[in-house]
Amino acid sequence: MKTVKVNLGSRSYKIHISAGVLGELGRHFKAYPDVTKVVVITDKNVERFYGEIVTKGLQTYKQDVSVISIDPGEEQKSLPSAEDLYNRLFELDMDRRGLIVAVGGGVVGDLAGYVAATYMRGIAYIQVPTTLLAQVDSSVGGKVAVNHANGKNLIGAFYQPKAVYIDPQTLKTLPRNELTQGLVEVIKYGIIRDASFFDYLDKHLPEILRLELGILEKVIENCCRIKAWVVERDEREETGLRSILNYGHTLGHAIEAVGGYKGHRHGEGVAMGMILATSIALRMGLTNEKVLEEQRQILQRAGAPTYYREDTEALFDFLCHDKKAVAGSLKFVLPVKIGKVVLKEVDAGIVKEVLAGG
Ligand SMILES: NC(=O)c1ccc[n+]([C@@H]2O[C@H](COP(=O)([O-])OP(=O)(O)OC[C@H]3O[C@@H](n4cnc5c(N)ncnc54)[C@H](O)[C@@H]3O)[C@@H](O)[C@H]2O)c1
Ligand SMILES: [Zn+2]
């Protein structure tokens, strides 16, 4: 069992990473003796694979375990879905001493976390992420949210879980394309903060793609450690440090949005976004070609796209209208070298040139 502590004073918690932990949650939950009732929130795909093993394990801890299973998909991260969940919790007589266990990808984690943050002014919840993206990113850091017609994740809270339990074995049933989305975030961690981790990924990518559990545990641990380090220093995105996690994301979000969220997936957008951000850094003389090539190669080996060839004009327009555009300049997280990024204002003209392939 590998453990990463997230130090946030009275809101501190531990992330436990271990192959097989999914079936042993009951044993671990004995650390929370005062809980009256446990409600697992999951989605139908995850329930099909893991519903039984999770419930059986949890029943060794509390007899009163209920499961609420939502339809899979980003559309579920909505206020109507949250309201459905509140209704179900009231039907189950869930009170303030109940515990929500979110078992699934980022959609389940964000929605169940948001419901936990708001139901009766907040009840305890535990994250059990089952996609690579959720294991290295969305389950750690306490950002919970639902989407709104005005944009993604606009209704939400900073609400930390009581603990996170990660079982890399769940990745065996994850569709390959979902794994790629998570791998892009994994690679991002190396680029923003840890050159030796980047080298480790470069060396061990074949084992990661073969889902070798020992290597996966190490990789997930390292990502959680980096995310925890950032979150501890900027829990509510106030000092600017947390923005380094958004490397590749301003451009990535624009790529997703311009495609109407139907073209490129999040990780794909971020992969192309990191390459474009590096091209901007290169154009500004902040970094060198090698930094670009190293990223491109590892991302391609991980199965992610690294060239954006679609509507670069629409992309530029989107960026300029995005809230981050201020008086002719745009803010980007840019790499200086592998392991170090900086937040910089970039002249819009430079962005336009780079997007146009200059
Ligand atoms: N809170 C944060 O800090 C944060 C950070 C990054 C992303 N997010 C959010 O995370 C969401 C994306 O999360 P995601 O990529 O995990 O998507 P997801 O939750 O939609 O899961 C992807 C798909 O995989 C299925 N699935 C999950 N685990 C599985 C398993 N082990 N085996 C087989 N199938 C499985 C799901 O049913 C779904 O169909 C977005 O809504 C995004 O906004 C939040
Ligand atoms: Zn991301």
127 neighbors 115 (Cβ within 8 angstroms): no
Q: Contact, 198 vs 144, CB < 8 A?
A: no
Q: Do 165 and 231 belong together in one domain?
A: no
- Integer angstrom CA distances of residue 283 from 36, 82, 316, 326: 59, 45, 17, 20
Ligand 2 centroid–CA 153 distance in Å is 12
Whether residue 138 sits in one domain with residue 199: no
Which among 126, 149, 174 is the end of a domain? 174
Q: Is the CB of 245 under 6 A from ligand 1?
A: no
Beta strands across the sheet bearing 99-104? 2-6, 13-17, 163-166, 124-129, 99-104, 38-43, 65-70
Do 54 and 160 lie in a common domain?
Answer: yes
Closest ligand to the CA of 134: 1
The answer to whether residues 152 and 196 belong to one domain is: no
* Ligand 1 atom 9: residue of nearest CA: 106
CB of residue 223 inside a 6 A radius of ligand 1: no
The continuous run of DSSP H or E covering 152 comes out as strand 151-158
> Are 91 and 220 part of one and the same domain?
no
28 and 156 belong to one structural domain: yes
Q: Which ligand is nearest to the CA of 132?
A: 1
* Catalytic hit among 37, 62, 188, 242: 242
**Does the global pTM surpass 0.75?**
yes
What's the pLDDT score for residue 326?
A: 59
Q: Are 104 and 42 in contact (CB under 8 A)?
A: yes
d(CA 131, CA 264): 18
Asked if residue 159 has its Cβ within 6 Å of ligand 1, the reply is no
Task: Identify whether the C-beta of residue 81 lies closer than 8 Å to the C-beta of residue 37.
Answer: no
Give SS3 for 319. Answer: helix
Q: Name the domain boundary from 174, 191, 220.
A: 174
Q: Which atom of ligand 1 is nearest to the CA of 77?
A: 41
Distance 109 CA to ligand 1 centre (A): 8
Indicate whether residue 270 lines ligand 1 (CB < 6 A).
Answer: no
pLDDT per position in the chain (358 positions), as tens? 999 999 999 999 999 999 999 999 999 999 888 999 999 999 999 999 999 999 999 999 988 999 999 999 999 999 999 999 999 999 999 999 999 999 999 999 999 999 999 999 999 999 999 999 999 999 999 999 999 999 899 999 999 999 999 999 999 999 999 999 999 999 999 999 999 999 999 999 999 999 999 999 999 999 999 999 999 999 998 988 999 999 999 999 999 999 988 889 999 999 999 999 999 999 999 999 999 999 999 999 999 999 998 899 999 999 988 755 556 789 999 999 999 999 999 999 999 999 998 6
Residues 35 and 108 in one domain: yes
Q: Is 237 annotated in the active site?
A: yes
* Catalytic-labelled residue, pool 62, 246, 268, 294: 246
Q: 209 and 345 share a domain? A: yes
pLDDT at 203: 98
Ligand 1 pocket, residue 164 CB under 6 Å: no
Domain of 101, CATH number, reads 3.40.50.1970
Cα–Cα distance measured from residue 215 to residue 201, given in angstroms and rounded to the nearest whole number: 10
Count of domains forming the chain: 2
136's enclosing H/E stretch is: none
Q: Are 355 and 276 in contact (CB under 8 A)?
A: yes
Alpha-helical (H) ranges within 259-347 are 266-283, 289-301, 312-321
Domain boundary pick from 109, 141, 174: 174
Closest ligand 1 atom to residue 45 Cα is 37
Residue 323, pLDDT score: 54
Residues 229 and 315 both lie in one domain: yes
**CB-ligand 1 contact for 46 (6 Å cutoff):** yes
48 part of the active site: no
* Residue with CA closest to ligand 1 atom 34: 174
Q: Are residues 211 and 278 in the same domain?
A: yes
Determine whether the shortest distance from the Cβ of 108 to ligand 1 is under 6 A.
Answer: yes
Same domain membership, residue 196 and residue 109:
no
* 49 & 84 share domain: yes
- Which ligand has the minimum distance to the alpha carbon of residue 268? 2
- Give the N- to C-terminal CA distance of the chain in Å, as an integer: 49
CATH number at residue 311: 1.20.1090.10
Domain interval for residue 200: 178-355
Q: Please confirm, yes or no, whether 264 is among the known catalytic residues.
A: no
